[in-house]
Amino acid sequence: MFAYLLRRILYAIPILIGVNLLTFTLFFVVNTPDDMARLQLGAKHVTPEAIERWKVEHGYDKPLLLNREMQGSAQFTDTIFFKHSAAMFAFEFGKGDDGRDIGNEIATRMGPSLAIALPVFVIGLLVNVSFALLMVFFRATYLDLWGVVLCVVLMSISGLFYIIAGQYFIAKLWNLLPISGFADGIDAFKFVLLPVLVGVVSGIGSGARWYRTIFLEEIGKDYVRTARAKGLSEVRVLFRHVLKNGLIPILTGAVVVLPLLFMGSLITESFFGIPGLGSYTIDAIQAQDFSVVRAMVFLGAVLYIIGLILTDLSYAWADPRVRLQ
C-alpha cells in the first residue's frame, strides 16, 4: 500500500509540471506580458515606460521559457516560467497582480466554498441514491416511468435557471431567505440554505438517473436472487446488498470530486455572492491575473490527483478483492 502511494505521488510530479507548462503556454498564447501590464495599468495615460516598469516590478520582463542571454542552467531558471512556477511546488503561490497574497486568499476563501459544496455533495448523494433506489424498487411500474421522466425534465433545465428561479421565488417573492451574500459563523446558515437547495435540486436529474442505471444492472445478478430466495425483504435487498455492490461505480464518480469541493462552484458562487475559490478563479481569468490562474489550476490539479488516489483507496475499502500493489 505504502509503495503504491509513494509511486502515485512520484507520478504526480511530472503531471503537475506538465499541467503547469500547459497552463503557461495557453495563457501566454492569448496574453502577452504587455497585455497584462496594460490591463493592470488601466486604459488611460499608459506610456510604454509605465508598461516596462510594471513588467520589471512583477517579474514579466524576462523571456518566457528560454533565456538565451544566460549561461548554463540559468537559461531555464532565469525565465518567467521558472520564476513563477518553481515556488508553487512548495505551495508558495506569491502575490496576485492586485498585490494580495494568493495563499492567504485561498485559505480565506476555502471555507465559504466548502460551506456550499460539501452539503450539496453529501445531501445530493443521499437524495440521489435514495431516489434511484426508490425507482429501482418500483422498476417497470408507472412510478418508475414518471420518476425517469422527472429526472429527464430536471436534467434538461439549465443550472442557471434553477439559480434564478430559486432566487426569484424563495428570496424575492416569498422573502424566506437572503437572495445573496455570506456571513461568518452561525449566520452563514441562512445564506447557504438557498444555494445548497438549488445545488441539490439541480443535480437530482442526472445523479438519480445514473445511480438508477447502476442499481438496475446489479439487481438482475445472482446474489440478489439468492438474497430474495433467502426471504429478505426488498428494502433489505436494496439497501444491504444492491447498494453495497453498486458502490464501486458510485465511488468512481463521488470520491474523485471530493477534494475538488475545495475549489468551489464558478456560477453558484458568483450569483449567490459567496466569497469562495470559484469566484476567485473567475475574477482572475477576467482580470488576466496569471499568478492567480496558474495557482488555481495547479491547486486543482493537485486536488484532482489526490481525488484519484483516494478513489483507488476507496476501491480497496469497498471491495476486498481489490489489492493496491
Q: Which residues bind other proteins (CB under 8 A)?
A: 30-32, 35, 38-42, 44-50, 53-54, 56-57, 95, 97-101, 103-105, 108-109, 134, 137-138, 141, 143, 164, 167-183, 187, 190-191, 233-235, 270-273, 275, 279-280, 283, 287-288
Copy the grid coordinates of residue 259: 477534494
Copy the grid coordinates of residue 157: 433545465
Q: CB-wise, 175 or 325, nearer to other proteins? A: 175
Backbone region of residue 100 per phi and psi (left: phi > 0; alpha: psi in -120 to 50; beta: other values): beta
Nearest of 21, 112, 100 to residue 65 by alpha carbon: 21
Q: CB-wise, 127 or 310, nearer to other proteins? A: 127
Q: CB-wise, 81 or 131, nearer to other proteins? A: 131
Q: Least distance to other proteins from the beta carbon of 288, Å?
A: 8
Q: CB-wise, 253 or 273, nearer to other proteins? A: 273
Residue whose C-alpha cell is 438508477: 212
Identity of the residue numbered 85: S
Copy the grid coordinates of residue 135: 425507482
Q: Least distance to other proteins from the beta carbon of 16, Å?
A: 24
Q: CB-wise, 108 or 206, nearer to other proteins? A: 108
Residues in the chain: 325
User: What would the DSSP string read from start to end of 94-126?
Assistant: -B-TTS-BHHHHHHHHHHHHHHHHHHHHHHHHH
Neighbours of 80 (CB within 10 A): 21
Q: CB-wise, 66 or 86, nearer to other proteins? A: 86
With a CB cutoff of 8 Å and minimum separation 6, the contacts of 222 are none
Angle at 240 between CA 236 and CA 243, to 5 degrees: 115
Q: Least distance to other proteins from the beta carbon of 76, Å?
A: 21
Q: Least distance to other proteins from the beta carbon of 105, Å?
A: 8
Q: CB-wise, 34 or 319, nearer to other proteins? A: 34
Q: Least distance to other proteins from the beta carbon of 125, Å?
A: 20
Q: Least distance to other proteins from the beta carbon of 317, Å?
A: 31
Cα 294 from chain centroid (whole Å): 15
Across-strand partners of 100? none
Q: Least distance to other proteins from the beta carbon of 222, Å?
A: 19
Residue whose C-alpha cell is 435540486: 201
